[in-house]
Amino acid sequence: MRRKIILSLLMILSIGYNGQTIVDSYPEGAESYKGGDKQFYKDFHNVLIDKNVKPCDNKNEYYVIDILVYPDSSIKFIKDNDSLNIQKNKCTYEMTREVFKYLKGWNPLIVNNQKFVGLAKYTIFPDYLFEKYKEGYDIKDFRKPAEYQDGGLNGFRKKIANSFDMAAVNETGYHQILISFVVDENGIMGKPYLEKESNSSSFNEQALMVVERIKGKWKPGMLHHIPVKYKVKLPLVMTF
């Protein structure tokens, strides 16, 4: 019997926010804001200038905001339970929520001519949205993901494959999970958890145990040359 482990990126469909079906990321080619991210940051900059918003004293502040974009192009903020992060970046947090009141370019998510509630995520780094702003700015151009120092993400995948105990999985068929963990500003990997489970409990347990036991150092993610927390999403698929 042949078993094969495949690691790849996935888009996840999530169900159950206030009884509605949402998609946790816009598919390739679809934009949550008219004109894309560059237009979003341009409009954000223009609001800051037009409303005479005061810059933050701490030039290293940044904030990641999650919103839901509804079929009627209205938006709703997703509650952030990380009170410490909000307090640490209070100026940016309050600025972002204020500016979003004036942004009108939201695009509903459309799949097969049907509108869904879409989840959109934006990172705001205010210091580059005031005087430092330049036409065409996109924060993705200034973001670097966390990197596993022993061969990068492919090296991390290889260690998973080499350490996986196939005999520990009792079920047959196709199994798919998504393991996530956070690499902090110091490059320390946090405790992994299952963001999406399969119907094989033995596969879930074995995969999570293997990832948690892998040793090695990480380089933290960077944003405008500042170390930041970075969430690593690691899909794991097994076929028999």
pLDDT, tens digit (0-9, with 9 covering 90-100), for 175-201: 899 999 999 999 999 999 999 999 889
Residue 16: pLDDT over 50 = no
What are all long-range contacts of 187-193, with beta carbons under 8 Å and residues at least 24 apart? 187/146, 187/217, 187/218, 187/219, 187/220, 187/227, 188/218, 189/218, 192/234
pLDDT at 3: 40
Q: 92, 114, 140 — which closes off a domain?
A: 140
Q: 116, 140, 164 — which closes off a domain?
A: 140
222 lies in a domain? Answer: yes
| 133 lies in the same domain as 160 | no
pLDDT at 22: 62
Residue range(s) defining the domain that contains residue 210: 145-239
Residue range 40-95, pLDDT digits in tens: 999 999 999 999 999 999 999 999 999 999 999 999 999 999 999 999 999 999 99
pLDDT category, 17, cuts 50, 70, 90?
very low
pLDDT at 25: 75
pLDDT at 21: 64
pTM of the model: 0.78
Q: Residue 62 to residues 16, 50, 119, 128, 229: CA-CA distances in angstroms?
A: 29, 21, 20, 10, 11
CATH number of 231's domain: 3.30.1150
| 27 lies in the same domain as 121 | yes
Mean of the per-residue pLDDT values for the chain?
88
pLDDT category, 12, cuts 50, 70, 90?
very low
